[in-house]
Amino acid sequence: MSLPEKAFPVSWDQFHRDARALAWRLAGLGREFRAIVCITRGGLVPAAIISRELNIRLIDTVCIASYHDYLNQGETNLLKPISSELLSAQGEGILVIDDLTDTGKTAAEVRAMMPKAHFACVYAKPKGVPMVDTFITEVSQDTWIYFPWDLGFAYQEPIAKTGRD
């Protein structure tokens, strides 16, 4: 597996802070959400944090696979749909959560199912930004975010030693 040009490792502490920042931003909208639909697997952790912070107890998942080898995004594959109860209102009052929008393909698929839902993610890349309503941090399209659940503890070479700017 070759590493991408730009790597953005995110620690558990940083991810928790960023997910709480997203909860603050969502609370500031003045909307009351009756449920969360998290896009798995990446949306599970931020959905747990946001559900606690916004006191939303009804959580569903939509299971869509798009990264099949951790580096290259392929065709989306719906593994589990959203419950019919939540789909019936076309997403009215529903908060859709994911960790990242990359190209926006996954968000577009879920948005087609729930056009009235509010889409939020912690991190966004330029191609995915038009598909979400709220996010915290934008990174360049050629940056690979290493989430804490994908990392182990290891020494990192200084940037100057690796020849990357």
List all residues 6 or more positions away from 104 whose beta carbon is below 8 Å from its beta carbon: 127, 128, 129, 130, 131, 132
Is 72 inside a domain boundary?
A: yes
Residues with Cβ within 8 Å of residue 125, at least 6 apart in sequence: 100, 101, 102, 103, 138, 139, 140, 141, 143
Per-residue pLDDT of the chain (165 residues; tens, 9 = 90+): 555 678 999 999 999 999 999 999 999 999 999 999 999 999 999 999 999 999 999 999 999 987 655 556 567 889 999 999 999 889 999 999 999 999 999 999 999 999 999 999 999 999 999 999 999 999 999 999 999 998 877 667 787 776 655
Q: Write down the pTM of the prediction.
A: 0.86
Which residue out of 69, 99, 150, 165 is catalytically annotated? 99
Please state the domain count of the chain: 1
Q: Is residue 143 part of a domain?
A: yes
* Domain, as residue range, for 103: 7-149
Residue 74 lies in a domain: yes
The pLDDT value given to residue 69: 55
133 has binding-site annotation: no
86 part of a folded domain: yes
**Is 81 a member of any domain?**
yes
CATH of the domain at 143: 3.40.50.2020
The reply to whether 162 falls in a domain is: no
Active site residue 13: no
13 is in an annotated binding site: no
